[in-house]
């Protein structure tokens, strides 16, 4: 059996004809940038998440950049995130002269450890923004993180790029911070057919600032008061996302069912399975296990034509681009250990039970069972 790591075409089989019809409708409509579809998606996505405002932008990376800058951050300001996220969480802001700091993660969830956060904020009083990542679709410990941030006067931006539809104690992620960001990269739980992203907030001032920043810093027609960008979501992407949004919850349920099939199929094997925290509604953007002999396991699965990936093999604080920050091996032991052990198994809504059984069987054979 050939098992892909993602299968977007198969996931969308039931809505393919609606997608094609919508594509044709947009071609004929003749409006391609920041039009009716983008406005409608922004309203529908804000209503889905439960915020007052949403602003469509060109990517999740731009959502982080514009989200952060909309809060008034400027070059030289410090922000904190975790070292085991996708590079964009740090680079979207460092690109604009903001300075990344990192804190370690919790072993079980791979998410930001609120105690480690507090330890850092105690030491470095000038950190202005905290960017916890709901990694793999599992929410962070938001109550504790919010408490620490408010104690130290630090603003909060949730990176929910991997967590559309995820919930923390029955509240949607994206509703518990100053601003929150989502990516519509094609493989995400809600993805488009190219790049796209969205920022959500209840803060009207930040919202107005986002509209200015995404459109060349234009405050009025042909009036540019601040340095801005060109970061717009296409009508076409917005229209296709509007077809998909009503299916997000159903697809997340399928992901959760598939995760639970993996949980039982891998139960007796010497691998660490993902743990859904008691406060979490995990949406399994990725199903990540950890194993001491990760690389050999991946090679074995590859030989069986089962594709796996590692999210992410090189912790950000050890990347050459951030060498000047003064971190080194050993700075964040938990994030570094996870980078050596983790592997993402195929998981998506249309993955079939027999395919999951086949992956579990191969893992079991690798361990000689």
Ligand X SMILES: Cc1ncc(COP(=O)(O)O)c(C=O)c1O
The least distance separating ligand X from the CB of residue 160, rounded to whole angstroms, comes to: 8
Instruction: HSE, CB side, 13 Å, CA atoms: give it for residue 220.
Output: 1
Residue with tokens 């027999």: 354
The least distance separating ligand X from the CB of residue 163, rounded to whole angstroms, comes to: 8
Looking at beta carbons only, is 60 or 68 nearer to ligand X? Answer: 60
> Parallel, antiparallel, or unpaired for β 197-201 and 167-168?
unpaired
In angstroms, the CA 301 to CA 257 distance is 22
The least distance separating ligand X from the CB of residue 277, rounded to whole angstroms, comes to: 18
Write the CB contacts of 137 (distance below 8 Å, at least 6 apart in sequence): 162, 163, 166, 189, 255, 282, 283, 284, 285, 286
The least distance separating ligand X from the CB of residue 289, rounded to whole angstroms, comes to: 18
Looking at beta carbons only, is 265 or 274 nearer to ligand X? Answer: 274
Burial label for 347, CB within 10 Å (0-12, 13-18, 19+), is buried
Helices (H), 111-247: 114-123, 142-151, 204-213, 235-244
Looking at beta carbons only, is 197 or 265 nearer to ligand X? Answer: 197
Looking at beta carbons only, is 133 or 200 nearer to ligand X? Answer: 133
The encoded tokens of residue 173 equal 């992620």
Q: Under a CB-based contact definition with an 8 Å cutoff, are residues 369 and 17 in contact?
A: no
Looking at beta carbons only, is 162 or 209 nearer to ligand X? Answer: 162
End-to-end CA distance of the chain: 20
Looking at beta carbons only, is 87 or 307 nearer to ligand X? Answer: 87
Looking at beta carbons only, is 61 or 201 nearer to ligand X? Answer: 61
> Parallel, antiparallel, or unpaired for β 280-281 and 287-290?
unpaired
The least distance separating ligand X from the CB of residue 253, rounded to whole angstroms, comes to: 21
Looking at beta carbons only, is 6 or 366 nearer to ligand X? Answer: 6
The encoded tokens of residue 364 equal 């079991």
Looking at beta carbons only, is 106 or 293 nearer to ligand X? Answer: 106
The least distance separating ligand X from the CB of residue 331, rounded to whole angstroms, comes to: 20
Q: Which of 135, 127, 145, 158 is nearest to 84 (CA)?
A: 135
Give the sheet arrangement for strand 99-102, strand by strand. 53-57, 197-201, 179-183, 155-159, 127-130, 78-81, 99-102
87: left (phi over 0), alpha (psi -120 to 50) or beta: alpha
Looking at beta carbons only, is 60 or 265 nearer to ligand X? Answer: 60
Q: Under a CB-based contact definition with an 8 Å cutoff, are residues 356 and 301 in contact?
A: no
**Could you list the residues that contact ligand X (CB under 6 A)?**
59-61, 85-86, 88-89, 133, 159, 161-162, 183, 185, 195, 197
Residue with tokens 């030989």: 303
The least distance separating ligand X from the CB of residue 98, rounded to whole angstroms, comes to: 15
The encoded tokens of residue 33 equal 């940038």
The least distance separating ligand X from the CB of residue 191, rounded to whole angstroms, comes to: 9
The least distance separating ligand X from the CB of residue 225, rounded to whole angstroms, comes to: 27
In angstroms, the CA 192 to CA 188 distance is 8
Q: Which residue is nearest to ligand X (CB)?
A: 60
The least distance separating ligand X from the CB of residue 182, rounded to whole angstroms, comes to: 9
């Amino acid at each position: 059996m050939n098992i892909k790591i993602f299968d977007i075409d198969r996931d969308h089989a039931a809505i393919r004809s609606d997608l094609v019809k919508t594509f044709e409708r947009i071609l004929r409509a003749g409006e391609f940038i920041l039009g009716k579809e983008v406005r409608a998606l922004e309203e529908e996505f804000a209503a889905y998440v439960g915020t007052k405002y949403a602003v469509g932008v060109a990517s999740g990376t731009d959502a982080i950049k514009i989200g952060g800058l909309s809060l008034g951050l400027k070059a030289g300001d410090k922000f904190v995130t975790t070292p085991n996220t996708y590079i964009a969480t740090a680079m979207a802001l460092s690109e604009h002269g903001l300075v990344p700091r990192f804190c370690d993660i919790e072993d079980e969830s791979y998410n930001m450890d609120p105690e480690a956060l507090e330890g850092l904020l105690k030491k470095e009083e000038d950190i202005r923004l905290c960017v916890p990542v709901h990694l793999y679709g599992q929410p962070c410990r938001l109550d504790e993180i919010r408490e620490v941030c408010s104690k130290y006067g630090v603003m909060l931006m949730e990176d929910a790029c991997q967590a559309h539809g995820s919930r923390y104690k029955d509240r949607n992620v994206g509703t518990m911070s100053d601003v929150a960001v989502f990516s519509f990269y094609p493989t995400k739980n809600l993805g488009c057919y190219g790049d796209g992203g969205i920022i959500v907030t209840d803060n009207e001032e930040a919202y107005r600032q986002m509209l200015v920043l995404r459109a060349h810093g234009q405050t009025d027609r042909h009036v540019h008061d601040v340095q801005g960008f060109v970061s717009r979501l296409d009508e076409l992407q917005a229209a296709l996302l509007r077809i998909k949004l009503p299916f997000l919850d159903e697809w997340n349920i399928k992901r959760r069912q598939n995760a639970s099939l993996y949980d039982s199929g891998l139960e007796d094997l010497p691998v660490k399975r993902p743990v859904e925290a008691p406060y979490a509604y995990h949406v399994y953007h990725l199903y990540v296990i950890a194993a001491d002999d990760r690389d050999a396991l991946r090679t074995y699965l590859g030989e069986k034509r089962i594709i796996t990936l590692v999210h992410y093999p090189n912790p950000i604080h050890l990347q050459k681009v951030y060498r000047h920050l003064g971190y080194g091996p050993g700075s964040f032991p938990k994030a570094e250990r996870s980078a050596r052990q983790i592997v993402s198994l195929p998981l998506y809504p249309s993955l079939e039970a027999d395919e999951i059984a086949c992956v579990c069987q191969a893992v079991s054979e690798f361990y000689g069972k």
